[in-house]
Structure 1
Amino acid sequence: MLSFVGLGLYDEMDVSVKGLAAIREADLVFAEFYTSHLAGATPERLAEFYGKGVRILSREEVEVSPEGWIGEAREKKVAFLVGGDPMISTTHLDLRLRALRMGIVTRIIHSSSIVTAVSGLTGLQNYRFGRSTSIPYPYVASGKRIVATSPYDVVIDNLHRELHTLLFLDIQPDRYMTVSEGAALLLEMEEMAGEDRLKRGLGVGVARAGSDDAVIIADWLPRLADRDLGGPLHVLIVPASLHFMEAEGLVTLAAAPPEILDEAEP
């Protein structure tokens, strides 16, 4: 049996009762924390809380050669831990399909996810979100700084459809992307495209969702690029036109500029 266990948003306390039982009953416990991780907990704290040793898998062990640890589930109870809710990442679906092809029984134990939490935190309606995307850090190739522009294309396509965009921000072993960095990169992508729609648009930053010191800030994107929301993890939202309740929610919950109320739709 291979159990995919979601750990929730922030720390070791976010796991469900069902998830905790599955972890404690498991013979082996593995985890990956590169698609998401619990900013409020360390692997040591997780192991102490679960009463189980947790082996953190490398990206290669998850994406390239997972057959070894997945194969343990033929004869043993294996728990695979992920931040947020399992199967939000296509990586996890790939692992489940591999396991099923190997004749291994699988199950999913769900937990809270940033995908749904942003609606409650910001007041933006869940049904109005379009395709989500990720903003990666720029990289250098042949001595040239490369900025991926596909996130900008997703945002603009959603705006044309009057849909909000949730942008996941890059997580690397030695750093995490902040809301200010993500907003600045979006504006850079827009400048590269020779357009100026986002320069006049709103952005919403969410930091440390699920924690007692979560921060939710809405501001014009150029100003958001200068805001410090503190420690990880961060996500960025680019809203489309707002229903009046969404606008009121952003003003009340995220200190958005009050003038957005004048432009909201009835």
Structure 2
Amino acid sequence: MVLYMVGLGLGNEEDITVRGFNIVKSADHIFLEAYTSVLGVDRERLEEFYGKPVIIADRDMVEQQVEDLVLVPAKTKKVAFLVVGDPVCATTHTDLWLRARQMGIEVEMIHNASIMGAAGACGLQLYNFGHTVSIPFFEENWRPTSFYPKIKFNRQGGMHTLCLLDIKVKEPDFDAMMKGKTKYLPPRFMSVNTAAEQLLEAEQTVAQQAYDGAKTLCVGLARMGQPTQCIRAGTLEELREYDFGGPLHSMIICGDLHDLELEVLKEYLIDGSKFELEHIETQHDEIR
């Protein structure tokens, strides 16, 4: 029949659209994708709200079992695949859509709010954003800086950069597996603090002046769309020390700032910030 890819928004079980809710209520199978993001409430809250069981689609299912468990049933039944935010904001969901279409399955998208739009709550205009980048957790022997050239490109063009921060959910414990045990590591969610630290290290490593840890204005975002959302602006060095609370976090590295953007950002500037809004030096102006 149909595979419905339903956006849940950013907050809790009540953020689903009316159309999405009606589809879920009439679906034969309901899956919650819990690999690319997490919702502010647990599965039990969703099941109580929908009045139906919800199956968690973790990383293993999405990567290895999605065809058998999701796509094949969608040939004859109504399947709702629930996605935190909007279903078109991750390549994982685009791949699912493509595979469904190749199998002759009709797909309907039900859109909702995502971090791509909610980032504008800090006052930065969405049409002034460039490439979005992902910041992965640095490991002892793996410290990638593939995001750095995109940030530099954006800054040279006067554009802001939305940084999506890494999450690790149901990651295998390889040490335990070597002992013949199936075990998973505790979930990890990158904080603004960790991202700021890694960005400072990346600038020191690559050293192409994409941004200045002591001068470039950045914005930390936490739990967007939830009652406890937190927005604070400051330099990377300042954001590194600020307590943003629990997940999920993201960050923006500012490019050129217009007067209206500045007026809003003043409301979110960390108390005691050394950043002087009236003396902004932009890479864009220097290059021009």
Range into which the TM-score falls when normalised by the shorter chain:
over 0.9
Which residues in structure 2 correspond to 1:181-192 (within 5 Å)? 181-192=194-205
Equivalent residue number for residue 227 of structure 2:
212
Shift, 1:139, TM fit: 2.3
Equivalent residue number for residue 263 of structure 2:
248
TM, length-normalised to structure 1: 0.93
Q: Distance in 1 between matches of 2:249 and 2:30?
A: 27
Shift, 1:58, TM fit: 2.2
Identity of aligned residues (%): 42
Shift, 1:202, TM fit: 1.4
Shift, 1:64, TM fit: 3.5
Equivalent residue number for residue 198 of structure 1:
212
- Match status 1:223 vs 2:238: yes
Equivalent residue number for residue 280 of structure 2:
263
SS at match of 1:216: strand
Shift, 1:153, TM fit: 1.9
Shift, 1:60, TM fit: 2.7
Q: Distance in 2 between matches of 1:139 and 1:3?
A: 37
Contact 1:176–1:232 (CA<8 Å) still a contact in 2? yes
Alpha-carbon RMSD? 1.6
Equivalent residue number for residue 44 of structure 2:
44
Equivalent residue number for residue 162 of structure 1:
158
Equivalent residue number for residue 70 of structure 1:
71
Equivalent residue number for residue 146 of structure 1:
142
- The letter of the residue matching 2:200 is L
TM, length-normalised to structure 2: 0.86
Contact 2:35–2:57 (CA<8 Å) still a contact in 1? no
Shift, 1:53, TM fit: 0.6
| 1:133-192 alpha-carbon deviations (Å, 9 max, x no partner) | 11111124xxxx321101222111110111100000011121100001101101101111
- Match status 1:18 vs 2:14: no
SS at match of 1:150: coil
Shift, 1:264, TM fit: 8.1
Contact 1:243–1:264 (CA<8 Å) still a contact in 2? no
Shift, 1:224, TM fit: 0.8
Shift, 1:261, TM fit: 3.2
Q: Distance in 1 between matches of 2:108 and 2:262?
A: 39
| 1:217-261 alpha-carbon deviations (Å, 9 max, x no partner) | 000111111111001110000010200111111012455857213
| 1:114-141 alpha-carbon deviations (Å, 9 max, x no partner) | 100111x20000100001011111124x
SS at match of 2:267: helix
Q: Distance in 2 between matches of 1:137 and 1:59?
A: 17
Contact 2:12–2:41 (CA<8 Å) still a contact in 1? yes
Equivalent residue number for residue 61 of structure 1:
61
Q: Distance in 1 between matches of 2:212 and 2:36?
A: 27
SS at match of 1:139: coil
Mean Cα displacement is larger for which, 198-207 or 55-64? 55-64
Which residues in structure 2 correspond to 1:99-110 (within 5 Å)? 99-110=100-111
Equivalent residue number for residue 27 of structure 1:
28
Structure 1: gaps spanning 5 or more residues: none
- The letter of the residue matching 2:145 is T
- The letter of the residue matching 2:248 is L
- The letter of the residue matching 1:114 is I
Q: Distance in 1 between matches of 2:226 and 2:138?
A: 29
Question: How many equivalent residue pairs?
Answer: 259
Contact 1:7–1:15 (CA<8 Å) still a contact in 2? yes
